[in-house]
Structure 1
């Protein structure tokens, strides 16, 4: 699976792919935001949660960049 193929999937298929192929790396939690970060092959996936409704709101993929900054403990 590559990033292009992953981005063509719908939300449920993306989540299934994360469950089957993803390696959990870290999470980012604030008062309003809950995000888990996973690695699949050579890209990263963020799973966004709505804690109030206990639902997944978004699953986004990327290769690098500012999306990774929130996981550094500086």
Structure 2
């Protein structure tokens, strides 16, 4: 099953998370102030998972294709992992 960004966005968050675990490729995470932002590549777009470490729960999933949204992660992403 391959979905586009818009098809993915209309799914319930639990289903989005399940698809992310099954088909997503982990790229990087950022931590700060009890929050963790985890970046995945999923098919032809990216998913940023907003995780609350204090409550051990997903707050939201943000999807995008924009290179600008990748900027906070670019210094730490290992491009060799993406090319395998």
Please give the TM-score of this superposition, normalised by the length of structure 2: 0.80
| Cα RMSD, aligned residues only | 1.5
2:9 maps to 1:30: no
Q: What does residue 52 of structure 1 align with?
A: 54
Unpaired stretches in structure 1, ≥5 consecutive residues: none
Q: Given the alignment, which residue of 7, 16, 38 partners 2:18?
A: 16
Q: Given the alignment, which residue of 2, 5, 10 partners 1:3?
A: 5
- Partner Cα distance (2:15, 2:27) in 1: 20
The structure-2 alpha-carbon separation of the partners of 1:65 and 1:32, relative to structure 1 and needing over 3 Å to count, comes to farther
Deviations 1:1-38 (A, max 9, x none): 11111011111011011011100011111224311100
The total of aligned residue pairs comes to 74
Structure 1 stretches of at least 4 aligned residues deviating more than 2 Å after TM superposition: none
**Partners of 2:34 and 2:54 within 8 A in 1:** no
Please give the TM-score of this superposition, normalised by the length of structure 1: 0.90
The higher-RCO structure (CA 8 Å, 6+ apart) is 1
Larger Rg: 2
